[in-house]
Structure formats: structure tokens, C-alpha cells
Amino acid sequence: MTRPDPAYPANDDPTCIVVDWGTTSFRAALVTQDGRTLDRTETPEGIQNIPDRSYEPVLMRALGKWFVAHGPLPVLALGMITSKTGWVEVPYVTCPASPADLAGGTISLELSNGAPLIFLAGLTDPARKPYADVMRGEETQIMGFGLDRDTVVILPGTHSKWARLRGGAIDSFQTFVTGEIFALLTQHSFIARSAGPASGKTDWGAFQRGLDLTSAADGTADAFLSLLFSARTGMLFGHLSAGEVRDYVSGLVIGHEFREARSQDWFTAGDSVGMVGNDGLNMRYTKAAQTFGLSVIDGGENAAVLGAIALIGGLSRGKLGPA
Amino acid sequence: MTRPDPAYPANDDPTCIVVDWGTTSFRAALVTQDGRTLDRTETPEGIQNIPDRSYEPVLMRALGKWFVAHGPLPVLALGMITSKTGWVEVPYVTCPASPADLAGGTISLELSNGAPLIFLAGLTDPARKPYADVMRGEETQIMGFGLDRDTVVILPGTHSKWARLRGGAIDSFQTFVTGEIFALLTQHSFIARSAGPASGKTDWGAFQRGLDLTSAADGTADAFLSLLFSARTGMLFGHLSAGEVRDYVSGLVIGHEFREARSQDWFTAGDSVGMVGNDGLNMRYTKAAQTFGLSVIDGGENAAVLGAIALIGGLSRGKLGPA
């Protein structure tokens, strides 16, 4: 499903347009059947910046040149544009969800030029405690990773997701707000005040020190709210420099996500897990996985596009008639 | 030690001045032997706002009227004024620490009017992992609570402390950055964006719901980074209102502090623990203690002043000569 059909060899004809339309930005990519991006565009026309919900003119203006060049290609839209505050609220599809379930959950409109506009559905896991969990967009990335292996897939991010694939469906998933906590700590907390300016270069040694603390068996890491204070005491007593503390904290929080995921039975040491690239976090998450005894199946960088194409394929054989 | 000596009945003569001199504010209290505050003053002259470290003129100006009225009373100073960036850096006293150890760790100067100025020492616990833990100020509150009981004392705050009293000494302690995480979440995160404006009124029902989740035995609460996302999903699916989410999150984070403290052997259900008031958090922490099966010994609101007076008493019998 993630691989191009060999009957249609790769070429440079675009097959669809994928639009990631969020709260503060509009991003679109013109993509080929085999998942390559031929062209892209980005504007600050996020849904909160569009008066009177006049979405269609914005979309047509942004995509117009592609329609002129290639005709009324199907447009797949995901992100907050599919939420209550967006163009069309697409109800969540419920786990376990197959590609057919996800395709069946889409909502389609016809644009003024006759191009189909397909809003993708998010996913909900009603079994999660205390409340059902949700994702919007990651389910498309998981489809791009492929559902043909029974495995766990990690999607690092501001709100990381761990998903279990089973029998060709997304069986269940869980969210961890790791990236958000890291950002809060390093932008607004006592750690922000003592850290040096971000150098843009990762101190992998400091990162690994944080990771190792979270994987230790002595129980210290069971107290996350306490472990975070070690960023201060480490600096106070000269064990951590201002230049190290940011990556040390990154190791603490990402490592804690793995520790918690293990406690929730997402893995045991020796397992292999899939990882779908996001936000430049792959290397950190791969090191964390290794620290916890996992091997990693790399899901590549363009899983979202591949997932969107797979959805288009499913839709082409269904609702939209043959391609 | 926390009670006035019956040989010296309570009266309105001040016995000392307690100065809490922090980064952004200067606070002083004129107190009696039995711990009552006769007068207080507060200015924004925190240590970061004083050019050229000209601390003494600021102090003399703020306390001048009390010196005129009552003579050169001893002044006890605590807070960041005793740190590396303050007037005098007072080295940490090491756990286990008796009142005599804490008194012995003070550093005294003589002010221009002959009044002794005594900088109180902070405390460090070298046994804490991965780095030694520290407190500055809370040790004085613990002295005010009294060291005559072998018990655990909780000091709620931005950086909460749990301390174990044993054999008349502060045996060990641990910091949890609970209040800081709560502030970050409710001021800067996805929770801040969806919560209603702070009403100033606590929704105890929402708070207890958060608490109860952290004390549940099903393991859900082992994943703190995931549990926090329930603030979003709870609102999304109508289980939490915008007016409830702040106190729900307060319950989650304070409850998690207790869950973590239990994992670090600070208590088992059925224990009683001391609690020393701080930042208006007592009621929340008392409810959390009860939720985790603890009974609470209330340490009162003026433990810091009582502790300072106890220190003065110890010093009066030692270094400073008889009172």
C-alpha cells in the first residue's frame, strides 16, 4: 500500500495535492503516485487568519497554478481545517480502524473547478483512560508507514503518539505530551532561566545522560517531577553546564516517555518498533529506543504523503469512481 | 522549640526581624518571641534590582523605623540574598542536620547600628540521585514545625519539598517541581489555550477527579505525560468544562507528586505527615494526602518565623552571647 503499483511506473505526473491546513499556516504539496513532492507552497493563511470562513477562495488562489498546469487534481485536506473550528468538521473514525474505515470516514466536496476536495478523518481510541484519545493527521502518516506489519509505531512530536498495528488496522494508540513539556521547560521555567542560548547543535552526551537516568532500574526515574529538578542541582553543583542542560532535559523527557510507554505495555526490551519521522526528532527517539532495548524500523520522512496517496487509491476504487 | 518558653510570657516586645530577600522582592517582618508578627514591610527591591550590590543602605532604609523604635534587634536574612548572586553566599549545611548544625552554618555581620545581621544557611541532601538536592528557606520552616517528632513533613510550593525528621534532625529531603509544572501548563500550554479565565474560586470536584486518577491502582497514572493529555480529550468529549480544567490539572499534578513520593518511600497509606503552609496550597495538599490514605499534622502558617526565632534562640545561647 505504501509502494507504487508496479503497473504504473514512477513518472513526474502529479497524482494529487496534499494540504496540511492548520491554525496558523497553510501548506500544500503537489505529489506523484510514488510519493515524491514536485512542488510545494506555504502561506500564513491558517484557519484562524481567514475572515468569515472564506476558505475556498484562499484554497483556489494557493493551488490555482497547479490546477492550470495539471487539471482538477484531487485535493486531500488534513489538520485543523477538518475540526470543529475549520471548514468541515470530520467526525473521528474509531479504533480499530482499517484503511477502508479511514477512507470511509472522509468527507468530500467538489471545488468550483470540479476537483474533488477530500477532508481526511482523525482517529479516536475509545479504550484509552480516563477519556478516549484522539489524533488528527498521524493516522495518515501511519497509513504511509503501512499496515501490513503487526507492530508498534512511534510518531514523535509535540504530542507524540504510540500506535499498535494489528491485522491490517490501527488497533489502539496513546498520546504523550512530551514535546510540549520540553518546550515549556526550556522556554518558560527555571531551566529556561539557567540554560545558555540554544546553539542549534545537539549535545548528544548530555542527551544520553538524561536518557540513561530514565532507563535506570533503581526507581529514581519513577519520580518525574523530582527528576526534573536535577537540571537545577546539576548546574548548581557543576555536573551540568549551561550549554548541556537543554539536551539533558530533552533526554529526561523523551526517556520518560519511553519509560511510561513501557509501563503501559507498549513494548518490552528486544521488540522492534516503527518510527515515522517528524519535527526532526527521529535521531533523539531512535537513541531513546536503543537505550530501552528496542530496534527501530525507519518509516521514512514522507509517510504523510504516502498515506494520503494510499487513501486516494482506496477512494479511487470506491466513492470517486475509477481513476 | 516551636512553643514560647513559659518563663517568658507572650508580650508585644519584638524579639527580632526576619527578612525574606528574594530575586524580585524584599519582605521583612517584626516578630515577637512567640511568633506573632507586629509589623511588616515589602518593597520591590529584590536582589536583581539593586545596583552595585549596595545591600546595606537598602536594608537600613527599610528597617530604620523599627531600629529607632526598638533598638538594634537581630536581623535574620534568608532567600536568594544568601546565594552566590546575593550579599553573602552561605554554604549549604549537609543532611542530616540538627538545629545546632543549621545555627552553626549561619554567617553573621554587624550592621552600622550594631545590630547583628545573620544570614541563614540552606540545606543539601547529598544522598539524592542523580545530584544532591537543595533547599533555601524551607529548612527554617521545618525548624518552626519542630524537630521533636520523627515524621515526614511536606512543604507545598513551586518546588515542593518532602523532608524526613529523625532523632531531632532533618535526615533527608526531596524536591518535586509540581507548582512550576502546574504554572507552565496553565499559563503557556494547550491547556492554557482552552481553559476559561481563572475565576479565583476552586472547583473542588474537578480537583478531586484529577487526584482520584493519580491514586488509582490500574497503572494509568504511571504515564504522567499521557495523563496530562486527558485535559484536552476531556474537554473535547465534554467530560470537562473550560471552568473545570484548571483545577482538574491541579489535581493531576499534585496527586502525581504524592504518587511519586510514595514510589520513593516517603510514605505508605495509614501514615501521618506534617504539612507546613505555603502559597495557599494547604487545602489542596491536605485533600491529596487524604486521597492517598494519610493523616495530616498541620504545621501552621508562621513556621518560617517560628523557625527563625528558634535559630535566634540557639544562636543567643551560642555565638551571640546570652540574650
> Which residues in chain A are closer than 8 Å to B181, comparing Cβ atoms?
181, 184, 225, 228
CB contact under 8 A, B229 and A133: yes
> In whole numbers, what is the pLDDT of chain B averaged over residues?
91
Overall average pLDDT of the B80-100 stretch: 94
* Side-chain half-sphere CA neighbours of B318 within 13 A: 16
How close does chain A come to B38, measured CA to CA in Å?
34
pLDDT, tens digit (0-9, with 9 covering 90-100), for B154-213: 999 889 999 999 999 999 999 999 999 999 999 999 898 888 777 889 999 999 999 999
Overall average pLDDT of the B92-113 stretch: 96
Between CA A302 and CA A87 the distance in angstroms is 25
Between CA B224 and CA B305 the distance in angstroms is 36
Topology agreement, domain A14-146+303-316 and domain A178-298: yes
The predicted pLDDT at position B311 comes to 87
Sorting pLDDT into bands at 50, 70 and 90, what band is A317? low
The predicted pLDDT at position B196 comes to 77
Q: Where are the domains of chain B?
A: 14-147+302-316, 178-298
The predicted pLDDT at position A9 comes to 47
- Angle of helix A178-188 relative to helix A245-263, nearest 10 degrees, comes to 150
Choose among A175, A218, A223: nearest Cβ to B229: A175
> Which residues in chain B are closer than 8 Å to A257, comparing Cβ atoms?
225
Q: Is the pLDDT of residue B280 over 80?
A: no
B199 C-beta neighbours (distance < 10 Å), count: 10
Q: Is the pLDDT of residue B2 over 60?
A: no
> Which residues in chain A are closer than 8 Å to B228, comparing Cβ atoms?
177, 181
Choose among A134, A233, A256: nearest Cβ to B131: A233
CB pairs under 8 A between A and B: 133
Between CA B162 and CA A292 the distance in angstroms is 30
CATH of domain B14-147+302-316: 3.30.420.300
Choose among B220, B228, B256: nearest Cβ to A129: B220
A3 C-beta neighbours (distance < 10 Å), count: 10
Choose among B134, B177, B233: nearest Cβ to A225: B177
CB contact under 8 A, A222 and B264: yes
Q: What interface predicted TM-score (ipTM) does this complex get?
A: 0.91
Q: Which of A61-65, A165-169, A299-303, B123-127 has the lowest mean pLDDT?
A: A299-303
Q: Is the pLDDT of residue A278 over 70?
A: no
CATH of domain A14-146+303-316: 3.30.420.300
> Which residues in chain A are closer than 8 Å to B190, comparing Cβ atoms?
159, 177, 180
Overall average pLDDT of the A5-24 stretch: 77
Q: Which cell numbers hold the place of A140?
A: 495518515
Say if CB A159 and CB B228 are below 8 A apart: no
Q: Is the pLDDT of residue B3 over 90?
A: no
Choose among B131, B159, B228: nearest Cβ to A234: B131
Say if CB B122 and CB B140 are below 8 A apart: no
List the beta bridge partners of residue A226.
none
Q: Is the pLDDT of residue B8 over 60?
A: no
- For residue A211, give Cα distances in angstroms to A207, A227, A239: 6, 12, 16
> Which residues in chain A are closer than 8 Å to B189, comparing Cβ atoms?
177, 180, 184
Residue A6 amino acid letter: P
CA-closest candidate to residue A97, choices A66, A128, A64, A142:
A142
> In whole numbers, what is the pLDDT of chain A averaged over residues?
91
Beta strands in chain B (DSSP E): 14-21, 26-32, 37-43, 75-78, 93-94, 107-110, 116-119, 123-125, 133-135, 152-155, 160-166, 169-176, 272-275, 295-298
pLDDT, tens digit (0-9, with 9 covering 90-100), for A198-244: 788 999 999 999 999 999 998 999 999 999 999 999 999 999 999 99
CA-closest candidate to residue A198, choices A210, A187, A209, A182:
A187
The single-letter DSSP state of residue B127 is T
> How much is the CA Rg of chain A, to the nearest whole Å?
21
End-to-end CA separation in angstroms for chain A: 16
Choose among B134, B181, B187: nearest Cβ to A233: B134
- The full 3-state SS of chain A, as one line of letters, equals CCCCCCCCCCCCCEEEEEEEECCCCEEEEEEECCCCEEEEEEECCCHHHCHHHCHHHHHHHHHHHHHHHHCCCCEEEECHHHCCCCCCCCCCEECCECHHHHHHCCEEEECCCCCEEEECCCEEECCCCCCCEEECCHHHHHHHHCCCCCCEEEECCCCEEEEEEECCEEEEEEEECHHHHHHHHHHHCHHHHHCCCCCCCCCHHHHHHHHHHHHCCCCHHHCHHHHCCHHHHHHHCCCCCCCCHHHHHHHHHHHHHHHHHHHCCCCCCCCEEEECCCCCCHHHHHHHHHHCCCEEEECCCCHHHHHHHHHHHHHHCCCCCCC
**Does residue B20 sit in helix, strand or coil?**
strand
The predicted pLDDT at position A48 comes to 86
Nearest CA in chain A to B213: A130
How close does chain B come to A228, measured CA to CA in Å?
7
> Which residues in chain B are closer than 8 Å to A267, comparing Cβ atoms?
none
Q: Is the pLDDT of residue A318 over 90?
A: no
CB contact under 8 A, A180 and B189: yes
- For residue B296, give Cα distances in angstroms to B275, B276, B283, B285: 7, 10, 11, 9
List the beta bridge partners of residue A298.
A275
Sorting pLDDT into bands at 50, 70 and 90, what band is B321? very low
Mutation target to probe the A interface, by most A beta carbons within 10 A, among B89, B229, B264 is B229
Sorting pLDDT into bands at 50, 70 and 90, what band is B317? low
Q: Which cell numbers hold the place of B312?
A: 535566634
CB contact under 8 A, B236 and A134: yes
> Which residues in chain B are closer than 8 Å to A226, comparing Cβ atoms?
174-177, 260, 264
> How much is the CA Rg of chain B, to the nearest whole Å?
21
Choose among A176, A188, A239: nearest Cβ to B226: A176
pLDDT, tens digit (0-9, with 9 covering 90-100), for A34-77: 889 999 999 999 998 898 889 999 999 999 999 999 999 999 99
Between CA B294 and CA A45 the distance in angstroms is 54
Between CA A252 and CA A224 the distance in angstroms is 9
The predicted pLDDT at position A4 comes to 46
CB contact under 8 A, B219 and A261: no
CA-closest candidate to residue B82, choices B20, B144, B162, B132:
B20
How close does chain B come to A288, measured CA to CA in Å?
16
Sorting pLDDT into bands at 50, 70 and 90, what band is A30? very high
**Dihedral (CA of B206, B208, B210, B212) sign:** negative
CATH of domain A178-298: 3.30.420.310
Between CA A136 and CA B280 the distance in angstroms is 39
Overall average pLDDT of the A180-187 stretch: 95
CB contact under 8 A, A189 and B184: yes
Map grid coordinates 505495555 to a residue.
Answer: A265
Mutation target to probe the A interface, by most A beta carbons within 10 A, among B131, B160, B240 is B131
The predicted pLDDT at position B316 comes to 67
Question: What strand order describes the sheet that includes B75-78?
Answer: B37-43, B26-32, B14-21, B75-78, B116-119, B107-110
> Which residues in chain B are closer than 8 Å to A23, comparing Cβ atoms?
none
pLDDT, tens digit (0-9, with 9 covering 90-100), for A110-132: 999 999 999 999 999 999 999 99
Q: Is the pLDDT of residue B242 over 80?
A: yes
**Class of residue A193 by CB neighbours under 10 A (exposed 0-12, middle 13-18, buried 19+):** exposed
The predicted pLDDT at position A279 comes to 61
Overall average pLDDT of the B120-135 stretch: 96
The predicted pLDDT at position A2 comes to 43
